[in-house]
Amino acid sequence: MLWIALHLPLLSLESFAATYCGAADAVPMALLDAQHIAHANPVAQALGVKPGLKRATALALAPHLVLGQADPQRDAQALAAVAHIALAFTPSVSLQPAQEHAAAPQTVLLDVQRSLRYFGGLDALVARLHEALAGLGHRIHCVHAPTAMGAALLARLHQQLRCPDLAALHAALDAAPVWLLGPGREHWEALQGMGLRTLADLRRLPRAGIARRFGEALLSELDRARGDQPDPREVIVLPDRFESRAELFARADTTEQVLQGATVLLARLVAWLAAQHAQVRRFTLAMQHEARRHSDTATPTSLNIALAEPSRDPAHLLVLLRERLARLPLSAPTFELHLCADEIVHRAPPNSELFPTPGSEAEGLTRLIERLQARLGNEQVQRLVLVHDHRPERGSPAQAVHADTALSVKLGQRLGHKGLASRSSPHIAPRPVWLLPEPEPLPERQSRPWFEGRALQLLSGPERIEAGWWDAGLAERDYFIAQALDGALLWIYRTRLPLSAGAQGWFLQGRFA
């Protein structure tokens, strides 16, 4: 067995300061629990603020101390993101119960013995694990040991430690202080009075006397840490639906402040998706606003983000959210965010080949369309749809691109097969992409069309189109490709009968690029 313990010593402070605007490490910060200091960062501790002090005493020592309220539920959501990232490396992930009463866990345990070969060894696995955890912004102690309890205990002392076998684990545990054990913390004064400071000192005493005086729990925890007693663990099960909340450090008056808090929730969403090896198709960000009056109830603002192609790229999701928030007016200051997602797609890993494939090119086009939709609106981004109608003005109408269509697949198939076949066919005359909204009449002199005061030179044609007899848009035309004096190529036509267009003569239909 090989266990990795990830201990977060500043979890409560980091989860509280996740939405803080600025460098939280440079500001004295502490959390309160029943008007007493529960946690303090290193800057506050350097000023004399220690856990257990009263609120008034802490403010007297550090007048600029930033105070917050301890929240175990907030800490649990932050630790869940770490556990979700760990699930992408092994299915055997569990949480180490907190030693303090009514405190949230701070340690995640991974059984990686069966994952070493897949990731190319322990060093490669740890490197990728730290890379995945970097996006959460937590300070993490990482310890490797043959037992789960041994790794969890040593992670509270060491930032980096590797115990490859039981002998190395036993040596590290013997040098550890007695208060590292949960029951040892409760009886610390009695143990210190007896001259017991390390776990090696504790092991030299008779077990029966220790159990009679301090209880069986002290020896049981020590035995599980050393591997002398079984230590079964309950693994974490992923929820079917992602849901996470974040209370903003300060009320947000602008969308940029909201985006900073939403970045934390997006990082948790990406961790949940990575654990399921899935990608998200749609997610919703709800913003809880501050009520203008005490008697009023503020209506939350919901922002639905739909993707044309499922993704779990944090940079891409952040760009889409930024574009949508930039166009969203806030009805009132925002103090809490809620992100949920339940539409996910299990897909194969992305292409990692050296040269781009048609699939990767279509993915880039899809992301461009998603960004344009987020900035301009869904109805403002349109695409041409082929219709079985020979009339140019009706043969390729524009329609809005909807996010629920498999755009990249359709475009890839169309460009990869039909588009190339139509270009190479010698029986289809070239057509311009730029068509005028309505055909523009051209002056005529001696049966020749004129454009901008000059006669046009006909290069090819005619191409006869007769269609629309089944509706009120009868078209009987002869199309030509003409060249203007400046070299521009125009697509013009001449009506064959006055009844076909309501008028007779030459018309400009489109321009070639």
Task: In whole angstroms, give the CA distance from residue 378 to residue 407.
Answer: 14
Summarize the confidence of residues 113-140 as an average pLDDT: 92
Q: What is the mean pLDDT of residues 77-83?
A: 93
> Which strands form 457-467's sheet, in the order they lie side by side?
434-442, 506-511, 489-495, 475-483, 457-467
Closest CA to 305 of 348, 346, 336, 259: 259
pLDDT computed for residue 337 by the predictor: 92
Partners of residue 183 on adjacent β-strands: none
Pairwise pLDDT comparison (455 vs 468), residue with the higher score: 455
Closest CA to 394 of 385, 402, 403: 385
Q: What is the pLDDT of residue 4?
A: 96
For 119-201, strand residue ranges (E) read 141-145, 160-162
Q: Is the dihedral of CA 255, 256, 261, 262 positive or negative?
A: positive
Task: Decide if 339 contacts 318 (C-beta within 8 A).
Answer: no
51 φ/ψ angles, rounded to the nearest 5 degrees: -60, 135
Mean pLDDT across 12-41: 87
Other C-beta atoms closer than 10 Å to the C-beta of 184 total: 23
User: Structure tokens of 294?
Assistant: 């005490």
Query: CB within 8 A of 167, min separation 6: which ones?
Result: none
Segment 273-300 shows an average pLDDT of 81
Distance CA 28, CA 45 (A): 8
Identify the pLDDT of residue 416.
44
Binned at pLDDT 50, 70 and 90, residue 420 comes out as very low
418 pLDDT higher than 50:
no
* More confident of the two residues 124 and 453: 124
pLDDT digits 0-9 by tens, 312-356: 888 889 988 888 888 888 778 888 899 999 888 886 655 555 555
Q: For strand 93-96 and strand 489-495, is the pairing parallel, antiparallel, or unpaired?
A: unpaired
Residue 273 in contact with residue 334, Cβ under 8 Å?
no
pLDDT band at 184; cut points 50, 70, 90: low
Query: What is the rounded CA–CA span in Å between residue 447 and residue 506?
Result: 9
pLDDT (tens digit per residue) in 164-174: 999 999 999 99
Percent of the chain with pLDDT over 90: 34
More confident residue, 446 or 379: 446
Per-residue pLDDT at 375 exceeds 60? yes
Q: What pLDDT is recorded for position 103?
A: 65
Amino acid at 239: P
Cis omega (within 30 of 0) for bond into 462: yes
Predicted confidence band at 156 (pLDDT cuts at 50, 70, 90)? very high
b vs e for 13-47, b when ≥16 Cβ sit within 10 Å of the residue's Cβ? bbbbbbbbeeebeeebbbbbbeeebbbbbebbbeb
What is the CB neighbour count within 10 angstroms for residue 11?
24
Amino acid at 215: G
At 408, the pLDDT band (50, 70, 90 cuts) reads: very low
Phi/psi-derived region of residue 109, left when phi > 0, alpha when psi is between -120 and 50, beta in every other case:
beta
pTM (2 decimals)? 0.71
Q: pLDDT band for position 284 (50/70/90)?
A: very high
Which phi and psi (to 5°) does residue 73 adopt?
-70, -40
- The answer to whether 41 touches 49, Cβ cutoff 8 Å, is no
Helix (H) or strand (E) holding 202: helix 199-203
Q: For residue 295, what is the DSSP state?
A: T
pLDDT for the residue 210? 84
- Give the pLDDT score at 411: 45
- Collapse the DSSP code of 488 into the 3-class scheme (helix H, G, I; strand E, B; otherwise coil) and give the result: coil
pLDDT digits (tens, 9 = 90+) for 225-266: 999 999 999 999 988 899 999 888 888 888 888 888 899 999
